[in-house]
Amino acid sequence: MSDLFAAQVHGTRTRLGRHACVLHGFALPVAAELLAGVEVVSAAAPFRHLVTPGGHAMSVAMTNCGSLGWCSDRRGYRYDPRDPGTCRRWPAMPQAFLRLAADAADAAGFADYRPDACLINRYAPGTRLTLHQDRDESDHVAPIVSVSLGLPATFLFGGFARGDKTVRVPVAHGDVVVWGGVDRMRFHGVLPVRDGMHPLLGAQRINLTFRKAT
Protein backbone atom coordinates (compact mmCIF):
# COMPACT_ATOMS: atom_id res chain seq x y z
CA MET A 1 0.00 0.00 0.00
CA SER A 2 3.03 2.26 0.26
CA ASP A 3 1.99 4.10 3.45
CA LEU A 4 -1.67 4.21 2.36
CA PHE A 5 -4.13 4.26 5.25
CA ALA A 6 -7.15 2.00 5.34
CA ALA A 7 -9.65 4.89 5.17
CA GLN A 8 -9.63 5.62 8.90
CA VAL A 9 -12.78 7.54 9.85
CA HIS A 10 -12.56 10.09 12.69
CA GLY A 11 -15.86 11.93 13.10
CA THR A 12 -16.41 14.04 10.02
CA ARG A 13 -12.96 13.24 8.59
CA THR A 14 -11.61 10.17 6.82
CA ARG A 15 -7.85 9.91 6.80
CA LEU A 16 -6.42 8.53 3.55
CA GLY A 17 -2.71 9.21 4.05
CA ARG A 18 -0.24 11.35 5.99
CA HIS A 19 -1.30 14.42 3.99
CA ALA A 20 -4.64 13.26 2.57
CA CYS A 21 -8.17 13.20 3.94
CA VAL A 22 -11.88 13.48 3.17
CA LEU A 23 -13.73 16.31 4.91
CA HIS A 24 -17.28 15.00 5.02
CA GLY A 25 -19.97 17.63 4.44
CA PHE A 26 -17.44 20.46 4.52
CA ALA A 27 -18.92 22.24 1.48
CA LEU A 28 -22.57 21.85 2.47
CA PRO A 29 -22.93 25.36 3.99
CA VAL A 30 -21.84 26.95 0.69
CA ALA A 31 -23.17 24.36 -1.78
CA ALA A 32 -25.77 26.76 -3.20
CA GLU A 33 -23.08 29.40 -3.84
CA LEU A 34 -20.84 26.84 -5.50
CA LEU A 35 -23.63 25.64 -7.79
CA ALA A 36 -24.46 29.23 -8.70
CA GLY A 37 -20.80 29.70 -9.58
CA VAL A 38 -20.88 26.62 -11.80
CA GLU A 39 -23.84 28.12 -13.68
CA VAL A 40 -21.96 31.37 -14.28
CA VAL A 41 -18.78 29.60 -15.42
CA SER A 42 -20.53 27.13 -17.72
CA ALA A 43 -22.58 29.94 -19.34
CA ALA A 44 -19.31 31.60 -20.41
CA ALA A 45 -17.33 28.39 -21.06
CA PRO A 46 -19.78 25.55 -21.82
CA PHE A 47 -19.15 21.98 -20.76
CA ARG A 48 -17.60 19.85 -23.47
CA HIS A 49 -16.13 16.37 -23.93
CA LEU A 50 -12.40 16.83 -24.47
CA VAL A 51 -10.43 14.55 -26.76
CA THR A 52 -7.44 12.57 -25.50
CA PRO A 53 -4.09 12.62 -27.34
CA GLY A 54 -5.12 9.23 -28.70
CA GLY A 55 -8.26 10.69 -30.27
CA HIS A 56 -10.88 9.33 -27.84
CA ALA A 57 -13.61 11.57 -26.45
CA MET A 58 -13.68 11.64 -22.66
CA SER A 59 -16.93 10.43 -21.11
CA VAL A 60 -16.87 13.14 -18.43
CA ALA A 61 -17.85 16.63 -19.62
CA MET A 62 -15.51 19.42 -18.50
CA THR A 63 -14.99 23.15 -18.25
CA ASN A 64 -12.60 25.41 -16.30
CA CYS A 65 -12.28 28.67 -14.45
CA GLY A 66 -9.33 30.60 -13.08
CA SER A 67 -6.25 32.09 -14.69
CA LEU A 68 -5.48 28.69 -16.25
CA GLY A 69 -7.60 25.83 -17.52
CA TRP A 70 -6.71 22.17 -18.00
CA CYS A 71 -7.03 21.05 -21.63
CA SER A 72 -6.63 17.89 -23.64
CA ASP A 73 -6.53 17.32 -27.39
CA ARG A 74 -4.41 15.59 -30.02
CA ARG A 75 -1.45 17.74 -28.98
CA GLY A 76 -1.51 16.39 -25.42
CA TYR A 77 -2.45 17.46 -21.90
CA ARG A 78 -1.64 20.98 -20.74
CA TYR A 79 -2.80 24.15 -18.99
CA ASP A 80 -3.84 27.07 -21.16
CA PRO A 81 -4.91 30.61 -20.17
CA ARG A 82 -7.50 30.56 -22.96
CA ASP A 83 -10.43 28.30 -23.72
CA PRO A 84 -9.48 26.47 -26.96
CA GLY A 85 -13.17 26.36 -27.89
CA THR A 86 -13.73 30.13 -27.78
CA CYS A 87 -10.17 31.55 -27.78
CA ARG A 88 -11.27 33.71 -24.82
CA ARG A 89 -9.73 33.67 -21.38
CA TRP A 90 -11.33 31.25 -18.96
CA PRO A 91 -13.91 32.81 -16.63
CA ALA A 92 -12.56 34.18 -13.36
CA MET A 93 -12.82 31.85 -10.40
CA PRO A 94 -15.86 32.84 -8.29
CA GLN A 95 -15.02 34.14 -4.82
CA ALA A 96 -17.06 31.34 -3.25
CA PHE A 97 -14.78 28.84 -5.01
CA LEU A 98 -11.61 30.53 -3.74
CA ARG A 99 -12.90 30.76 -0.15
CA LEU A 100 -14.01 27.13 -0.03
CA ALA A 101 -10.74 25.86 -1.53
CA ALA A 102 -8.65 27.86 0.94
CA ASP A 103 -10.80 26.86 3.93
CA ALA A 104 -10.74 23.16 3.03
CA ALA A 105 -6.99 23.17 2.43
CA ASP A 106 -6.45 24.92 5.77
CA ALA A 107 -8.65 22.37 7.55
CA ALA A 108 -6.50 19.62 6.04
CA GLY A 109 -3.27 21.25 7.20
CA PHE A 110 -2.30 23.34 4.16
CA ALA A 111 -2.31 27.04 5.04
CA ASP A 112 -2.42 29.98 2.64
CA TYR A 113 -3.67 27.94 -0.32
CA ARG A 114 -4.68 29.91 -3.40
CA PRO A 115 -5.36 27.82 -6.51
CA ASP A 116 -5.01 29.28 -9.99
CA ALA A 117 -7.08 26.63 -11.79
CA CYS A 118 -10.39 24.89 -11.16
CA LEU A 119 -11.41 22.01 -13.42
CA ILE A 120 -15.17 21.38 -13.30
CA ASN A 121 -16.23 17.85 -14.25
CA ARG A 122 -19.81 16.79 -14.96
CA TYR A 123 -20.55 13.08 -14.55
CA ALA A 124 -23.66 11.40 -15.94
CA PRO A 125 -24.64 8.00 -14.51
CA GLY A 126 -22.27 5.35 -15.79
CA THR A 127 -19.32 7.71 -16.37
CA ARG A 128 -16.07 7.29 -14.50
CA LEU A 129 -12.57 8.68 -14.14
CA THR A 130 -9.80 6.12 -14.57
CA LEU A 131 -6.83 5.99 -12.21
CA HIS A 132 -4.37 8.76 -12.96
CA GLN A 133 -1.93 11.21 -11.40
CA ASP A 134 -2.34 14.99 -11.59
CA ARG A 135 1.11 15.71 -12.97
CA ASP A 136 0.63 18.53 -15.48
CA GLU A 137 1.15 21.11 -12.72
CA SER A 138 4.55 22.61 -11.94
CA ASP A 139 3.77 22.44 -8.20
CA HIS A 140 3.62 18.81 -7.02
CA VAL A 141 3.41 19.62 -3.30
CA ALA A 142 0.51 22.09 -3.01
CA PRO A 143 -2.73 20.20 -2.43
CA ILE A 144 -5.47 19.17 -4.77
CA VAL A 145 -8.89 20.12 -3.37
CA SER A 146 -11.75 18.10 -4.84
CA VAL A 147 -15.39 19.01 -4.08
CA SER A 148 -18.30 16.60 -4.71
CA LEU A 149 -21.76 17.95 -5.56
CA GLY A 150 -24.85 16.05 -6.66
CA LEU A 151 -24.98 12.27 -7.00
CA PRO A 152 -22.75 10.22 -4.68
CA ALA A 153 -19.70 8.43 -6.04
CA THR A 154 -16.86 6.14 -4.98
CA PHE A 155 -13.46 7.84 -4.89
CA LEU A 156 -10.42 5.61 -5.50
CA PHE A 157 -7.15 6.53 -3.79
CA GLY A 158 -4.05 4.48 -4.51
CA GLY A 159 -0.28 4.49 -4.39
CA PHE A 160 2.45 5.95 -6.55
CA ALA A 161 2.16 3.30 -9.27
CA ARG A 162 -0.96 2.54 -11.26
CA GLY A 163 -0.98 -1.09 -10.13
CA ASP A 164 -0.82 -0.32 -6.39
CA LYS A 165 -3.74 -1.27 -4.20
CA THR A 166 -6.47 1.35 -3.81
CA VAL A 167 -8.94 2.20 -1.09
CA ARG A 168 -12.56 2.94 -2.00
CA VAL A 169 -14.11 5.91 -0.25
CA PRO A 170 -17.76 6.91 -0.69
CA VAL A 171 -18.14 10.64 -1.33
CA ALA A 172 -21.48 12.44 -1.11
CA HIS A 173 -22.85 15.90 -1.86
CA GLY A 174 -20.71 18.42 0.03
CA ASP A 175 -17.72 16.15 0.72
CA VAL A 176 -14.24 17.51 0.01
CA VAL A 177 -11.13 15.40 -0.62
CA VAL A 178 -7.76 17.07 -0.04
CA TRP A 179 -4.36 15.55 -0.81
CA GLY A 180 -0.93 17.13 -1.08
CA GLY A 181 2.56 17.00 0.42
CA VAL A 182 3.88 13.44 0.48
CA ASP A 183 0.56 12.17 -0.92
CA ARG A 184 0.30 14.65 -3.78
CA MET A 185 1.34 12.26 -6.56
CA ARG A 186 -0.86 9.32 -5.62
CA PHE A 187 -3.02 7.73 -8.29
CA HIS A 188 -6.73 8.39 -7.89
CA GLY A 189 -9.97 8.02 -9.79
CA VAL A 190 -13.75 7.62 -9.58
CA LEU A 191 -15.75 4.42 -10.12
CA PRO A 192 -18.74 4.60 -12.52
CA VAL A 193 -21.41 6.85 -11.03
CA ARG A 194 -24.58 4.91 -10.24
CA ASP A 195 -28.03 5.82 -11.51
CA GLY A 196 -29.93 8.16 -9.23
CA MET A 197 -31.61 11.52 -8.83
CA HIS A 198 -30.17 14.22 -6.62
CA PRO A 199 -32.75 16.74 -5.30
CA LEU A 200 -30.68 19.71 -6.52
CA LEU A 201 -28.81 18.40 -9.55
CA GLY A 202 -30.92 15.52 -10.82
CA ALA A 203 -29.08 12.70 -12.58
CA GLN A 204 -25.58 14.15 -12.45
CA ARG A 205 -22.53 14.68 -10.29
CA ILE A 206 -20.46 17.85 -10.40
CA ASN A 207 -16.88 17.82 -9.19
CA LEU A 208 -14.73 20.92 -8.62
CA THR A 209 -11.01 20.17 -8.67
CA PHE A 210 -8.81 23.03 -7.47
CA ARG A 211 -5.13 23.00 -8.36
CA LYS A 212 -2.07 25.20 -8.12
CA ALA A 213 -0.82 24.75 -11.66
CA THR A 214 2.10 27.20 -11.56
CATH topology of domain 8-211: Jelly Rolls (2.60.120)
- Counting other chains too, the contacts that 106-112 makes at CB distance below 8 Å and 24 or more residues apart are 107/23, 107/26, 107/178, 108/19, 108/20, 108/21, 108/23, 108/143, 108/178, 108/180, 109/19, 110/19, 110/142, 110/143, 110/178, 110/180, 110/181
Q: How confident is the model at residue 3, as a pLDDT?
A: 59
Mean pLDDT by 10 residues, the chain (214 residues): 57 92 97 98 96 92 98 93 94 98 98 98 97 96 98 98 96 98 98 97 98 96
Q: How confident is the model at residue 109, as a pLDDT?
A: 97
Boundaries of every domain in the chain: 8-211
Q: How confident is the model at residue 148, as a pLDDT?
A: 98
Q: How confident is the model at residue 1, as a pLDDT?
A: 39
Instruction: Determine if residue 53 is left, alpha or beta; phi over 0 gives left, psi from -120 to 50 gives alpha, anything else beta.
Output: alpha
Q: How confident is the model at residue 85, as a pLDDT?
A: 87
Q: How confident is the model at residue 8, as a pLDDT?
A: 62
Q: For the purposes of burial, counting CB atoms within 10 Å of the CB of 104, is it exposed (0-12), middle (13-18) or buried (19 or more)?
A: buried
